[in-house]
Structure 1
Amino acid sequence: MLHTLLPCDVVVVEAEDGMWEGYLHPDEATSIARAFPGRRREFTAGRACARAALARLGVTPRPLLCDADRVPQWPPGTTGSITHCDGYCAAAVAWQAKVRGVGIDAEVLTPLGKEVELICSPAELQGGVQAGLPAAFVANVIFSAKESFYKCYYPLARQFLEFSDVEIIVIDDGCFEARLVNHSLPDMLGFRHCRGRFALHQGHVFAAVVL
């Protein structure tokens, strides 16, 4: 599904059954050795998806380790993003010469509770409904859109974000614009907003942005 939300310059690989228990480079395995089994499965699937996607770009396989900020250290000249939720995992990669940054997110589509007030502004919720989204899942779309924006933003700006720092404007049923509205925060290579796409599919919400 995520590949339908991204341009052709971005390679997307979704996890297949064998990837959840697949191979990890020893250095990757060391970095996740103390994690719970569920987290190790997600990590393993994410690395398998990333290796497969990079291979499609023609990049020689190598360990995909994280830096001190827990950001994957993509091979020189490439950029990427990994997402996982219950039963789903995917990676998206691209050459930086064609894509400055990418962020993907997948979430199980379940109604949110009181946390909606922390994630979404009244204007964002109203805008989603006016754009034609099912009222019960507007908050899910906004949450996933903000997560995908953050995954694109943080590796470039190295700045944590609060939900209120970003405004999501749902343009129609499938597209949104993410705007960095806290003007005290650094931009992304001169950009303070970007377009993204989303989809509701088989009990999940998917969102993706590129810069």
Structure 2
Amino acid sequence: MIRQLSPPLAIDSDCYQVSCHFDRTLFHDETANQLGLILPAKMDSAVQKRKAEFLAGRYCARAALAQLDSNLDAAVGIGANRVPLWPPGLVGSITHSHCYASAVVARQQHIRAVGLDSETWIKKSNRENVSSLILTPSETRSGQIQLFDSPLHFLTLVFSAKESLFKCLFPLVNRFFDFQAAIISPLPSGSASGGKFRFELLEDLDTEFRAGYSGYGTYAMDATGVHTAIVLRAQTRD
């Protein structure tokens, strides 16, 4: 059901990442036991696809934890709002998209927060609806669209980058915010296959992360979609 892959995205050297390919059609009731994982009771009624995604993500998380510390064999639970519960002193992020899953983990003494996301390409038939939900007016007019093979690739990148931003900041601000709360700007030095992007908040999330707060993330693109990550190092208090 699961086969490890080389992570497509280079993240901070203090982060440990594991990625995998998984086949949800091979999932069955004993898969969790075979992988040495626990499927929470709250997921008993979940569809096969959701169970397979959960297990693939937790498989990657456990493997990433083992890379960080070979003696660390802790389960990653589910907290409020479905946020992963990492062992004390650690931070991390999990993503899954179609048949791909990945997890990243780091020590809080090095990394304050991290957000990881992967998305398959947004379909042309969904472009208008997704654009109205995801893009700010300035992103709609962005000159950086020309960096990519298709406007759909730019749209998918912005979508994924904002998902990474949410995963990164939510544990710190402890509040929901939507796609219009930030703007994503790919750097001109990037390409259609990968590079960096800048994010800037357009509204106050708390007393620290206010409108105008900015930082950088990385992205990589392949045949199936886009992968993004945002890392806030522990000493960063911009």
Corresponding position: 1:186 with 2:198? no
1:203 shift after superposition = 1.9
SS in 1 for 2:138: helix
Residues 2-11 or 171-180, more deviating? 2-11
Larger radius of gyration: 2
Q: Distance in 2 between matches of 1:67 and 1:82?
A: 13
1:181 shift after superposition = 1.1
Residues 207 and 187 of structure 1: CA distance in aligned 2, closer, same or farther (over 3 Å):
farther
- Number of residue equivalences: 209
1:5 shift after superposition = 3.0
Map 1:42-191 onto structure 2 (within 5 A): 42-58=53-69, 60-111=72-123, 112-127=127-142, 129=144, 132-134=147-149, 135-172=151-188, 173=190, 174-183=195-204, 185-186=205-206
RMSD: 2.4
Corresponding position: 1:203 with 2:224? yes
In the alignment, structure 2 segments of 5+ residues that lack a partner are 1-5, 233-238
Q: Distance in 1 between matches of 2:10 and 2:146?
A: 18
Deviations 1:138-177 (A, max 9, x none): 1111101100100101111111011111111221321111
Q: Distance in 2 between matches of 1:137 and 1:170?
A: 12
Deviations 1:112-163 (A, max 9, x none): 3322011002311332535622333211111011001001011111110111
Normalising by structure 1, we get a TM-score of 0.89
Contact residue 11 and residue 94 of structure 1 kept, 8 A:
yes
SS in 1 for 2:132: helix
SS in 2 for 1:89: strand
Identity of aligned residues (%): 33
Residues 104-113 or 162-171, more deviating? 104-113
The residue that corresponds to 2:235 in the other structure is: none
Q: Distance in 2 between matches of 1:176 and 1:83?
A: 19
In the alignment, structure 1 segments of 5+ residues that lack a partner are none
Contact residue 145 and residue 168 of structure 1 kept, 8 A:
yes
Normalising by structure 2, we get a TM-score of 0.79
